[in-house]
A and B are shown apart, each in its own frame.
Chain A
Amino acid sequence: MLKSYLTKSKVHPAPLAVFRIVFGLLMLVALIRFWTNGWIYSLYIEPDFHFKYYGFSWVKGLGNYTYLLYSSCIIAVVGIILGYRYRLSIILFFLLITYSELIDKTTYLNHYYFTSCIAFLLCFLPAAHYFSIDAIQKEKSIDAIPSWMVDGIKLFLCIVYFYAGLAKINSDWLLEAQPLSLWLTSKYDIPLIGEILKYRWVHYAASWSGMLYDVFIPFFLLYPKTRSIAFVFVILFHIMTKIFFPSIGMFPYIMIFGATIFLDVQWHKNQLEFLRKFAAKFSQKFNFLKLKLTKANVLFKPKQYILPLFISFFIIQIFLPFRYLAYPGELFWNEQGYRFSWRVMLMEKKGYTTFKIKDSINQKTFYVDNADFLTPFQERQMSFQPDFILEYAHYLANHFEKQGHQNIQVFADSFVALNGRPSERFIDPSTDLNQEIESFKHKKWVLPLKDEIHGL
Chain B
Amino acid sequence: MKKLISIKVVLLSLILLNCTSDSDTIDVIEETELNIEEQQTEFDRSSMLSFWADSIIIPSINSFYIELNTLNAYATSFTSNPNSGNLNQLRDQWLKTYQKWQHVEMFDIGVAEEIYFKNRINIFPANVQLIENNISNLGFNLDDSYNFAAQGFAGLDYLLFGIAQDDDTIIAKFSNSSLNYDSYLAAIISKMIDLTISVKSDWEGGYRDSFIQSTDNTATSSINNMLNDFVFYFEKGYRANKFGIPAGVFSGGPLPDRIEAYNGEIYSKILALESTTVIENFFNGVSYNDSNITGLSIKNYLDFIENDVSEKLSERINNQLQAGRNKIDQLNTNFKIQIEENNHEMLLTYDAIQSTVILLKVDMLQKLNVSVDYADADGD
Contacts and interface: CB of A to CB of B under 8 A. Distances in A.
- A-side interface size class: 35 or more
Contact of A228 (B3, B363, B376): B3
Contacts of B41: 198
Interface string A171-202: 00000000000110111111100000010100
Given A242-B21, A267-B4, A350-B362, A257 B11 contact: yes
B376 A200 contact: no
Interface string B345-374: 000000000000111011101111110011
Contact of A376 (B10, B359, B365, B373): B373
Contacts of B379: 109, 245, 247-248
B7 interface: yes
Given A189-B215, A344-B380, A352-B357, A365 B252 contact: yes
Most A CB contacts (10 A, CB to CB) among B216, B249, B308, B369 go to B369
B251 interface: yes
Contacts of B249: 366-367
Contact of A423 (B216, B363, B377, B380): B363
B215 A111 contact: no
B3 A189 contact: no
A328 interface: no
B14 interface: yes
Nearest to B309: A420
B375 A380 contact: yes
Contacts of B316: 422
A365 B247 CA distance: 12
Given A364-B252, A420-B367, A375 B375 contact: yes
A29 interface: yes
Contact of A110 (B26, B377, B380): B380
Nearest to B371: A380
Interface string A37-71: 11100110000000000000000000000000000
Contacts of B128: none
A369 interface: yes
A373 to B, nearest CB: 14
Given A366-B251, A415-B358, A37 B366 contact: no
Contacts of B362: 350-352, 415-417, 423
Contacts of A376: 373-375
A253 interface: yes
Given A187-B217, A415-B358, A417-B363, A267 B7 contact: yes
A348 interface: yes
Contacts of A364: 252-253
Nearest to A423: B362
A235 B11 CA distance: 9
Nearest to B313: A422
A453 interface: no
Interface string A409-423: 000000111001011
A251 B21 CA distance: 14
Nearest to A375: B375
A270 interface: yes
Interface string B161-172: 000000000000
B292 interface: no
B201 interface: no
A49 to B, nearest CB: 15
A2 to B, nearest CB: 32
B218 interface: yes
A231 interface: yes
Interface string A240-284: 001001111111010011001001001100110000000000000
Contacts of A359: 252
A249 B378 CA distance: 6
A189 B28 CA distance: 8
A191 B26 contact: yes
Contacts of B310: none
B34 to A, nearest CB: 15
B21 A248 contact: no
A253 B369 contact: no
Contacts of A260: 11
Contacts of B366: 182, 348, 350, 417, 420
B33 to A, nearest CB: 16
A376 B359 CA distance: 19
B28 A185 contact: no
Contacts of A256: 11, 14
Given A186-B369, A366-B250, A422-B363, A200 B308 contact: yes
B264 interface: no
Contacts of B10: 235
B359 to A, nearest CB: 7
B376 A191 contact: no
Contacts of B358: 352, 415, 423
B238 to A, nearest CB: 16
Interface in A86-115: 107, 109-111
A322 interface: no
A377 B375 contact: yes
Contact of B377 (A43, A245, A352, A368): A43
A346 B376 CA distance: 20
Given A350-B365, A352-B361, A37 B14 contact: no
A78 to B, nearest CB: 18
B373 A246 contact: no
B178 interface: no
Contacts of B25: 190-191
A186 B368 contact: yes
B18 interface: yes
Contacts of B252: 359, 364-366
A186 B217 contact: yes
A420 B369 CA distance: 10
B59 interface: no
A253 B378 CA distance: 14
The residue in B28, B358, B370 that gathers the most chain A C-beta atoms within 10 A of its C-beta is B358
Q: Which 6 residue pairs across A and B have the least CB separation, nearest first?
A: A377-B375, A186-B369, A249-B378, A376-B373, A366-B252, A189-B216
Interface of B: 3-4, 7-8, 10-11, 14, 17-18, 21-22, 25-26, 28, 41, 45, 215-218, 221, 244, 248-253, 305, 308, 313, 316, 357-359, 361-363, 365-370, 373-380
30 contacts: A29-B18, A182-B367, A186-B370, A188-B45, A189-B217, A231-B7, A239-B14, A242-B21, A245-B379, A246-B21, A248-B379, A251-B378, A251-B380, A253-B14, A256-B14, A260-B11, A266-B4, A270-B4, A345-B380, A350-B362, A350-B365, A351-B362, A352-B362, A377-B377, A415-B358, A416-B362, A417-B363, A422-B316, A423-B358, A423-B359
Given A182-B369, A228-B3, 19 more contacts: A39-B376, A107-B377, A185-B305, A186-B368, A186-B370, A198-B41, A242-B17, A245-B379, A249-B378, A250-B378, A256-B14, A267-B4, A348-B366, A352-B358, A377-B373, A380-B375, A417-B363, A420-B366, A422-B363
